[in-house]
Structures are given as C-alpha cells and as structure tokens.
C-alpha cells in the first residue's frame, strides 16, 4: 500500500512582527537581519491563544480541500515544541476543537524536524494497511518561548501551522518513496530551553533566570544544519538512483535564507527549484515544511508525478529527508 499526501493546508496569524518593529525592541537593524537571515517579517499569534488554534485552522483547510468530515480521521499526529499544555497532549486539544471524535493520536517533539518525524510515522501507518486517514500537523507558537530582549533569537522565529492528510493509494508511481532520519543528543548543548521540564520545574528562580526561553549557539547550529540537510538530501536521492537534477521541487526547513542557499549550492540544485518563504514567516519550527508545502501547492509548483524532496534540521539535534512523488493532479 502506497502512502500519498491527499490534501495540504496551513494557517498563519495575521499580526506581523517586522524588522522595523524589532529595531525598537533590541539593538539590531533591518540590514543586519536581512543580510544574516533573509527574514523580513514573522507572524505572531494572539498571546491568549495556544498553538492548537493555528493547528485546528490548518487542519480545517485540509479537511475542506479533501471534502471529508473530522470524524473520518483515524489518527492525529501533532508535531510541536510548544503544545498548549504539558498535559494533556496538543493532539487531544486539537481533537476536541476539530471534532475528530473517532481518532486517537499523540504529540511528537522532533524540534524543527518534528513534521518529518510525524509524517514518516503516518506514512508507515498507511503502508501497513492498519489505517486509512492520518492527519499530520506541524505547528508552533515560538513567540511563547522567545525572549524579545535577546537579539540572537528574537529575530529568527515566528508562529504558524501546516497540515497534511496521508492516505493509501493504488497508484504505485506516486507517494512516499523513501526517507532518512537521524538524531544526535549531543546537540542539547547548542539549542535548548531548560525551564519547565522535569529537570528544572517552573519556579521563581527558573523565571528569574530566564530559563523558559529558547537559547542557541547560532554558529554551531548553522554549520550542523547545512551539513546535515545537504547530506540527507544527497543520500536519499543516491540510494534511489536519482540526482539533484531529477528533483522538481526541494522543500527545505525554513530557518534562515543563508542556510537554504548554502544547502542548495552544496547539493547543486538551482534556486528556481527550491521553495522559499522564510522571508514572510521566519522559522516556525515544526510548521515550516507543511506551510511551505501548502503554499507550493497553492502556487501550483508541484505537478502530478513530480519528484519532491523535503529536508529539515533542528533541536536534538534531529535531521532528515523525505523523497516522494507528488500525487495530486
Ligand atoms: N542584530 C545585530 N547584531 C547581532 C544580532 C542582531 N539581531 N544577533 C547577533 N548579533 C551580533 C552578535 O552579538 C555578534 O556580535 P559580537 O561579534 O560583537 O559578539 C555578531 O552579531 C555576530 O554574531 P554571529 O552569531 O557570529 O553571527 P552569524 O553571522 O553567525 O549570524 C545567526 C547569526 C543566528 C543568524 C546564524 O548563526 C544562524 O543563522 N544560525 C542558525 C540559526 C538557526 O537557524 N537556528 C534554528 C535551526 S533549526
């Protein structure tokens, strides 16, 4: 049984945080941000709403596109590092809001690779024949864990959600063909949020010490991201007898224009075959790939039977790639 993406959707909040806005918050400039990251603006969710708000809207777009009701969903997988609550899961919150009463599901934290982890799990649920409709959502409200006094991080991240429906198909030509996933726990030293977990439960001192914010060693992450994404891009093609020339559209994790540009150069794929929307949204963590996929679909950038490669790198470290043949006509 082949697993295909049968519908794709996304949602971003309306409020924009521009580089000019950030110039008022920290010592930075539009010129610095544009030259180092290519990011012009990000979307910010209402502080009173949780990540599930965006996840549900992305899911509703998927259901409407496919013309099915929420009760038809068998499994709901939600990739996020910013669930509404620690308990219960965001999947449970989304299930209730969406009215997907018949499904079970769970959250998955794979950092910026989270969507690919959830998507490849969904594909295997379908390939095994056990389930017929798996909804996969990648969503993050990064504004909830960003310190808007820290110029190293606040310029990079934004809020957003994307979703896909994964279903079986008899068409052997299309669907998920292969994937590669990796994890290296030594990455904890370079990209982390220490407060609020079981090692450092929330307390006055964790708040005073700003432990509920995301920190990173940008240069180390940058280097690993470029090397990791380029490596899994090339290997997933090579072991399927393909090369960069065969790829119709590359959908990389949208962290930073320079990372995307460096990966594209390293693997030898021309920029017109790379999906880029990081300038509009910044890094929405688990949201970037499904949002980019949804916008690429809206822009008609993938034709039936096109080769599509997705690749991501993120906290853990985690990284991976997926090779698929586009199934929508
Ligand atoms: N505005 C102005 N200056 C800034 C700044 C900002 N927003 N943020 C950092 N700087 C300063 C630094 O303080 C440093 O100053 P110093 O030399 O006086 O100490 C200087 O700019 C250079 O910093 P550096 O970190 O070396 O810059 P960089 O060229 O490596 O770019 C990143 C920084 C964060 C853009 C880059 O490292 C990066 O993109 N890393 C990957 C981040 C990422 O995408 N993470 C998520 C992956 S999933």
Domains, the chain, ordered by start:
2-169 (3.40.47.10), 175-325 (3.40.47.10)
| Average pLDDT of the segment spanning 141-162 | 98
Distance in Å, CA 32 to ligand 1 centroid: 9
- Annotation marks residue 253 as catalytic: yes
b/e sequence 303-328, b meaning 16+ C-beta within 10 Å: eeebbbbbbbbbbbbbbbbbbbbbbe
Whole-number Å distance, alpha carbon 218 to ligand 1 midpoint, is 6
Asked if pLDDT for residue 171 goes beyond 90, the answer is no
Task: Take residue 31 and report the two structure tokens written for it.
Answer: 């010129």
Q: How far is the CA of 171 from the centre of ligand 1 (A)?
A: 46
User: pLDDT digits over 183-205, tens only?
Assistant: 999 999 999 999 999 999 999 99
Mean pLDDT score across all residues of the chain? 97
Contacts 24+ apart (CB under 8 A), 96-101: 97/52, 97/56, 98/56, 98/59, 98/60, 98/63, 98/70, 98/73, 99/70, 99/71, 100/59, 100/70, 100/71, 100/73, 100/76, 100/135, 101/70, 101/71
| Of 217, 195, 192, 188, residue with least CA distance to 317 | 188
What is 289-328 written as a DSSP string?
HHHHHHHHHHTT---TT-EEEEEEEETTTEEEEEEEE---
Catalytic hit among 112, 117, 224, 277:
112
The pLDDT value given to residue 26? 97
Mean pLDDT of 92-107: 98
The predicted model gives 74-89 an average pLDDT of 98
Could you tell me the distance, in angstroms and rounded to a whole number, from the CA of residue 50 to the centre of ligand 1?
Answer: 28
Provide the percentage of residues in the chain whose pLDDT is more than 90.
98
Q: Which of 109, 88, 288 is nearest to 183 (CA)?
A: 109
pLDDT at 303: 97
**Looking at ligand 1, which residue's alpha carbon is closest to its atom 3?**
28
pLDDT 10s digits, 213-235: 999 999 999 999 999 999 999 99
Closest protein CA for atom 12 of ligand 1: 152
Q: What is the mean pLDDT of residues 281-292?
A: 98
Say whether 190 sits in a helix, a strand or coil. coil
pTM over 0.75: yes
Rounded distance from Cα 155 to ligand 1 centre (Å): 10
Q: What is the mean pLDDT of residues 115-136?
A: 98
User: In terms of Cα–Cα distance, which of 130, 177, 112 is closest to 317?
Assistant: 112
Nearest to 179 by CA among 6, 1, 3: 3
* Cβ–Cβ under 8 Å, residues 69 and 165: no
pLDDT band for 120, please (50, 70, 90 cuts).
very high
Q: What is the pLDDT of residue 302?
A: 97
pLDDT(236) > 90: yes
| Prior bond of 317 cis (ω within 30°) | yes
Please tell me the predicted confidence (pLDDT) of residue 292. 98
- Predicted confidence band at 36 (pLDDT cuts at 50, 70, 90)? very high
pLDDT at 160 exceeding the cut of 90: yes
112 CB within 6 A, ligand 1: yes
The alpha-carbon radius of gyration of the chain (Å, integer) is 19
pLDDT at 1: 84
Tell me which H or E stretch contains 185: none
Q: Is 218 in the pocket of ligand 1 (CB under 6 A)?
A: yes
As to burial, measured by CB atoms within 10 angstroms (0-12 exposed, 13-18 middle, 19+ buried), residue 53 is: buried
DSSP β-bridge partners for residue 7: 165
- DSSP E strand boundaries for 87-232: 104-108, 134-141, 159-169, 175-183, 191-192, 215-216
- Which one of 10, 103, 283, 297 is the catalytic residue? 283
Q: How confident is the model at residue 262 (pLDDT cuts 50, 70, 90)?
A: very high
297 is catalytic: no
The two most distant CA atoms of the chain are separated, in Å, by 57
Taking CA atoms only, the protein residue closest to ligand 1 atom 40 is 218
Any ligand 1 atom below 6 A from CB of 255: yes
Cis status, amide bond into 88, omega within 30 of 0? yes
Burial code (b: 16+ CB inside 10 Å, e: under 16) for 21-45 equals ebeeeeebeeeebeebbbbbbbbbb
Nearest-CA residue for ligand 1 atom 36 is 218
Q: Is 117 a catalytic residue?
A: no
């Amino acid at each position: 049984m082949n697993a295909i993406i049968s519908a794709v959707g996304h949602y971003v909040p309306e409020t924009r945080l521009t580089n000019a806005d950030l110039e008022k918050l920290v010592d930075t400039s539009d010129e610095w941000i544009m030259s180092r990251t290519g990011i012009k603006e990000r979307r910010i969710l209402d502080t009173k709403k949780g990540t599930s708000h965006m996840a549900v809207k992305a899911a509703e777009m998927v259901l409407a596109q496919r013309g099915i009701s929420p009760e038809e969903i068998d499994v709901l997988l939600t990739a996020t590092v910013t669930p509404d609550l620690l308990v219960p899961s965001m999947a449970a919150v989304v299930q209730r809001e969406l009215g997907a009463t018949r499904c079970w599901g769970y959250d998955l934290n794979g950092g910026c690779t989270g969507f690919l982890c959830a998507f490849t799990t969904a594909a295997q649920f379908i390939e095994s024949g056990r389930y017929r409709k798996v909804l996969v959502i990648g969503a993050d409200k990064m504004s909830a864990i960003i310190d808007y006094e820290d110029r190293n991080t606040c310029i990079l991240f934004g809020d957003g959600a994307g979703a896909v429906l994964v279903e079986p198909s008899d068409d052997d030509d299309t669907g998920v063909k292969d994937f590669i996933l990796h994890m290296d726990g030594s990455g904890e030293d370079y990209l982390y949020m220490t407060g609020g977990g079981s090692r450092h439960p929330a307390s006055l001192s964790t708040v005073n010490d700003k432990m509920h914010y995301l920190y990173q060693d940008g240069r180390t992450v940058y280097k690993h991201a470029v090397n990791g994404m380029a490596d899994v891009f090339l290997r997933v093609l090579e072991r399927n007898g393909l090369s960069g020339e065969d790829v119709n559209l590359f959908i990389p994790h949208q962290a930073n224009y320079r990372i995307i540009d460096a990966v594209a150069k390293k693997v030898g794929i021309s920029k017109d075959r790379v999906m880029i929307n990081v300038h509009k949204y910044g890094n929405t963590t688990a949201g970037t790939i499904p949002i980019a996929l949804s916008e690429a679909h809206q822009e008609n950038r993938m034709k039936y039977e096109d080769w599509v490669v997705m690749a991501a790198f993120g906290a853990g470290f985690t990284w991976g790639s997926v090779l698929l043949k586009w199934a929508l006509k």
